[in-house]
Amino acid sequence: MTSRPVCAVLSTAYLPPVEYFMAAVMTGRLLIEAHESYVKQSYRNRCRIYACDGVLSLTVPVSMPAGSREVSVALVDYSKPWLQQHKRAIVSAYRTSAFFEYYQDDIFPILDSRPVCLLDLNMALTLRLLDLLGIRCTVSLTEEYRQSYGPEFLDLRDEIHPKKAVSEIFRDRFSPYYQVFSAKFGFIPGLSAVDLLFNEGPDAVSYLVRR
């Protein structure tokens, strides 16, 4: 692998974890997988935040059109009250953080716009977070599914997963930053980037570029 990969290949993710944005800083280019088969119980339709009882997973219900498993056609199911539940959970978790009131109006309108497709929802949130975090990065979608990429690519599609520990690639990049409930449960790495944003605000980008 080259000393600096030219691109990071990632699965789509709902309110992606901090590692996605570390990858953006490392490479300057993200390639989001749009043609893989949809995988349940992954970051594709869930995120992890720091709530009063510890880590809380927020899951977006998804339905698939008959005969297709491709993530690009996964539909968000608004028949369930998940949207209100997620917003309430985020408010409860971060309302006392230093920058929640400053950024909530940048995040919640995307949720309230109710994109039909999961990929559209995730892309809108990812692009907004890149902007709010102050990261300059080119983002594009794959045009076809490829099982593997060359050594100049940082393929993280299977590396970043809610049931896996923080990847070794990023482990040394995590150091404690202030979290609202850290006095109860200590520092928790690898949460949704909204955790870093709401707690660190404009200093979040400095955290992400640390070596």
b/e 66-103 (16+ beta carbons within 10 angstroms → b): eeeeebbbbebeeeeebbeebbeebeebbeebebbeeb
User: How far is residue 13 from each of residues 70, 123, 206, measured CA to CA in Å?
Assistant: 14, 8, 23
Whether residue 133 has pLDDT greater than 70: yes
Q: Mean pLDDT score of the chain, rounded to an integer?
A: 95
Residue tagged 């794959």 (tokens): 142
Each domain of the chain, given as residue ranges in start order, spans: 7-208
According to the model, what pLDDT value does residue 1 have?
43
Q: Amino acid identity, residue 33?
A: E
According to the model, what pLDDT value does residue 2 have?
46
The tens digit of pLDDT for each residue in 144-160 reads 999 999 999 999 999 99
Give dist(CA 151, CA 148) in Å, integer.
10
Confidence of residue 3 (pLDDT cuts 50, 70, 90): low
Percentage, residues of the chain above pLDDT 90: 91
Confidence of residue 137 (pLDDT cuts 50, 70, 90): very high
Encoding tokens for residue 171?
């482990």
pTM of the model: 0.95
Helix intervals (H) in the chain: 18-27, 82-94, 100-112, 118-133, 168-171, 182-185, 193-200, 204-208
According to the model, what pLDDT value does residue 52 have?
96
| Count, residues in the chain | 211
Give dist(CA 102, CA 117) in Å, integer.
28
Confidence of residue 24 (pLDDT cuts 50, 70, 90): very high
Contact between 50 and 190 under an 8 Å Cβ cutoff? The reply is no
According to the model, what pLDDT value does residue 211 have?
55
